[in-house]
Each structure stands twice: as structure tokens, then as C-alpha cells.
Structure 1
Amino acid sequence: MSVTLSATTLSTILNGFFEDNSFVSGAEATAADAEVFKALSGEPNAKALPHLARWYKHIVSKGAAIDSLKAAEAPAAAAAAAGEDDDEDLDLFGSDDDEVDEEAEKLKAQRLEEYKAKKAAKGPGPAAKSAVTFDVKPWEAETDLGELEKLVKDIKMDGLVWAAAAKRVPIAFGVSKLQINATIEDAKVSTDDLTDLIMELEDYVQSVDIAAFMKL
């Protein structure tokens, strides 16, 4: 019996391996590292696979010296690298013995579970936020922009924070628009919903435009 690993599964296993190991075997790069390096199709995604990417960059830095690394016994990580090609079967431990293959399957499952557990323990990253600038145009020059600003800031939503002060920008014929900034959590606040809520101040507001939008 032999085991075939997809490139994604292989990379996940290797990333977990290099989280606790600097090299494939021992405290320095060996021919086993060269074997794993050559089996990879390219540089790993540093964000998704930080430990594998760190090891990869270290091996790349050796340049032509990669081919002259001294031989060493390659553990499971080196054997696993040879299986990156989806069309080729791989025995992780160089044996067709059923008992050994069963252990290889257990090792693969264990590594995947450990990786998932460590990732879950770190918790979710910070919420994605955006900075938005609204241009709020009143009906006429006599519109009380101070009251309009107060009414706009009275709009409360989870994930919405209004800036401390708004800016009054002259348009024409004595009319000034209210330019007000807000920080929103993308997953909680829709700019369309927020625009609609401002437009509901119909006694004051003629139109609302998004003057600027920037991811934070």
C-alpha cells in the first residue's frame, strides 16, 4: 500500500514540521533539505505557511551550494516532499509494509490536527476595518449644519465610529456640504445601509456621496 499526497496537504504537513524544526534533519541544512526543496513547485505563501516559507528562504539563500549539501538521513519530512507530484504514489517511510503505511497515515492525520489546533488557539485576527468619508449635501444655505452633524452622529451601529469633528466645505451660492469621516468594521457595517440612514434625514439632506474609502 502507498500514500499519495496533494501539494496542498504536503505543504501543510511540512509547515507543521518546520514550526518545531529548523531543518529536515539535525541542526543544519543537509541533502535531505535539498531533496525537499527541489520537490516543491515554488516559494510557499508566507502568510498561509509561515514556517515552511521561512525554511524555504533559508535554503534559497544558499544558491548553488544547495547541490553540494552533505548527505544525511532524511526523516519523514524529506520522504513526504517526494510525493508533491499528484500523479505519483509515495510510501512515506520507504516501505510497502501495511503496518508502516498505517503509521504514516496516523502521522499525517496527527500533523494536520496539530496544525489546526495551533491555528485555532491563536484565535481570529483583528476585524477588517475601513475609513469612509461622506459628503452630505443640504437642501439650502440656511440649513443648520451643526444640527445636521449632530443628527448624523446620532446614527449608531455596532462597528461604526464617527470622527470627532466634521468639515464644512463650500459648494456654490453660499451652500456648504458637510464632510464627515467614520471608521467602520467591514463585516458589521454596510456603507449602503449607512447612506440610506443618512438620507432618511430628509428635512436636512439632499444627497449623500462617498468621497473617499480606504481599507485600514
Structure 2
Amino acid sequence: MTEGEVLCEDDLFKSDEEEDLEKVKLQKQRLEEYYAKKKTKPAVIAKSSILFDIKPYDSETNLEELENIVREIKMDGLVWGTCKLEPIGYGIKKLQIQCVIEDEKVSVDALEESIKDLEDYVQSVDIVSFNKI
């Protein structure tokens, strides 16, 4: 054995490029598998349940007619639910109506403005409850 020869075959300073390339290939393959699996899953549609208080313009307002007009507001992703009349006082009642919206398709502000635009029937609109489904 000469002075220049190394007793150990392991070279501590050798390049890890081959190992790094294998790791990168494996990582890339796993990412591709993950994205392929993710594409097959159906997207979750975020929905919200909203309960509106709609106060009539005056005591003479026909609340059944008001309900029908509010239900005529159509938007993609909007489904109207139950409705009831709640007493305010002095014989005046307000309309409470519930709806379910798809958050991506329906703006709550736009829906509220659509109801407020019924000026002949509506004095004010309040959101009583807003729940994510």
C-alpha cells in the first residue's frame, strides 16, 4: 500500500447528486399522485343559512304578498326556505324568512339590497342569524 491510498472505500467528500436526483424524482412522483387524487375529489360547496327580518313599510302592507314578492327574487345558488310572521307591537307584524345560499355564487349584500329595493313594501331588512353550513 502506498501513502496516497485510502484504507477505507467510503469517500466522505463524494457528491450526493445521484441520491438527490432520486429524492427529487420520488418527491415529484408523490406530488403528481397527490394532485391526481385531489382532482378526483368533488369540490366542497360552501353554503350559508340566513334568517332575515323584513319590516313592512306600514301597518297596511299585505305580508302574504310581500312574501311572494321576496320569493320571486331569483339568483343562482339561492334557495328560499320557511317563512313566518312575528309580532312587533301594536298589531304590526314583521316577516321572518330563511334562505340558503352558495357563498361563491350569491352575495349577501346583493341579496339584502334586492329585498330593500322593494320600497313600496319594505321599510327595513335585518339579518337575524347567519350560519355557515
**TM-score grouping bracket, smaller chain normalisation:** 0.7 to 0.9
1:155 maps to amino acid: I
Distance 1:172 1:123 in 2: 49
User: How far is 1:171 from its partner?
Assistant: 0.5
1:118: which partner in 2? 37
Report the TM-score when normalising by structure 1. Answer: 0.53
- The CA RMSD over aligned residues, in Å, is 1.4
Name the CA distance, whole Å, in 1 between partners of 2:25 and 2:56. Answer: 68
Q: Show the counterpart of 1:133.
A: 51
Counterpart residue type for residue 192 of structure 1: D
Q: Which runs of 5+ in 2 are unaligned?
A: 1-13
Give the secondary structure class of the aligned counterpart of 2:120: coil
Q: % of aligned pairs identical?
A: 56
1:166 maps to what in 2? 83
Q: Which structure: larger Rg?
A: 2
Kindly indicate whether structure 1 or structure 2 has the higher relative contact order, using CA contacts under 8 Å at least 6 residues apart. 2
1:99 aligns with 2:18: yes
Query: Once the two structures are superposed, what CA deviation does each residue of 1:69-88 show, in whole Å capped at 9, x if it has no partner?
Result: xxxxxxxxxxxxxxxxxxxx
2:63 match: 145
In structure 2, what is the equivalent of residue 187 of structure 1?
Answer: 104
- Paired positions, count: 120
Unaligned residue ranges in structure 1 (runs of 5+): 1-94
2:73 partner SS:
coil
Give the SS at the match of 2:20. Answer: helix
Structure in which a larger fraction of residues adopt strand: 2
Give the Å deviation of 1:97: 4.2
Give the TM-score, by structure 2 length: 0.84
Amino acid at match of 1:202: E
> How far apart, CA to CA, are the structure 1 residues paired with 2:58 and 2:92?
6
Counterpart of 2:117 (choices 175, 200, 216) is 200
